Amino acid sequence: MSERKRPRLAVWKFASCDGCQLSLLDCEDELLTLAGVVQIANFPEASSVIKDGPYDLSLVEGSITTAHDAERILKVRRQSKHLVTIGACATAGGIQALRNFADVNDYIAAVYASPQYIETLATSTPISAHVPVDFELHGCPINKVQLIEVISAFLAGRKPAIATHSVCIECKRSGTVCVMVQGTPCLGPVTHAGCGAICPSFRRGCYGCYGPMDTPNTAALAREWRALGATPRDLLRVFRSFNATAEPFTTESEAHGD
């Protein structure tokens, strides 16, 4: 397909660990095929050629934590026909949103000797707090098979086939024995599917890195955790991690808070 006809893909980074955009380079079997179908117009981590917009599909990794980035995301949105956030940082503020529950100046002083050099916002916020988002792909990190599905769906002009049920369904499908019934506290019942229920298959409880599912009953799960011996501090910690500012997890963490 000629350069002109291939849809143009852009990948953007805000505050993040790079893991979600690395997922694209981790598509070892699909990468060269994908590069034949789309024009990778802006992906600085992978290529020195950066082409100007507009772009048909922008994948956005990371959260907004600086005034400069709050401006930059507006420009990204203006140049993008479709904008998809990839991962917990872009979708829910990420682990760096723990500052939202603290005083950021204490955080700066804890890490840097010369705080006057540091420019940062008091909060880490998801992309949707700043611009309209066409689709949010959950996960810390995202699942690369789901990433290929989302890209394919947008190229075909259809809705991505991404399930919104809980991790529990993935355990049942893969035949993994429930770890909760064996006495291990697990966030699977309230966590968004997508990872393939990895943790239970390694005999540990889910720790919620895909964020809340649709309409989770976190209070009921918290009672089960207490029955298994979890302390309020354990509950506060587990709901306040990679998706701490996703509303259902924020609320539940506050029920066991400080």
Nearer to another protein among residue 217 and residue 231 (C-beta):
231
Rg (CA), the chain: 19
Given 22, 70, 148, 178, the residue binding another protein (CB under 8 A) = 22
Q: 160: cis peptide before it, omega within 30°?
A: no
104 close to 53: Cβ distance less than 8 angstroms: no
Nearer to another protein among residue 36 and residue 54 (C-beta):
36
Q: b vs e for 32-46, b when ≥16 Cβ sit within 10 Å of the residue's Cβ?
A: eebeeebbbbbbeee
Type of residue found at 82 = H
Say how many CA atoms lie within 13 Å of 207 toward its Cβ. Answer: 14
The CB-of-69 to another protein minimum distance in angstroms stands at 7
> How far is the C-alpha of 94 from the C-alpha of 46, rounded, in Å?
23
- Rule CB under 8 A: say whether 19 interacts with another protein: yes
Ranges within 161-180 binding another protein (CB under 8 A): none
Token digits of residue 156: 């075909």
188-227 footprint of another protein as x/- string (CB under 8 A): -------x--xx-xxxx--x-x------------------
Nearer to another protein among residue 102 and residue 217 (C-beta):
102
Chain residues binding another protein by CB under 8 A are 13-20, 22-23, 25-26, 28-29, 31-32, 35, 40, 44-50, 65-66, 69, 94-96, 98-99, 102, 104, 106-108, 110-114, 117-118, 120, 124, 140-141, 195, 198-199, 201-204, 207, 209, 237-238, 241-242
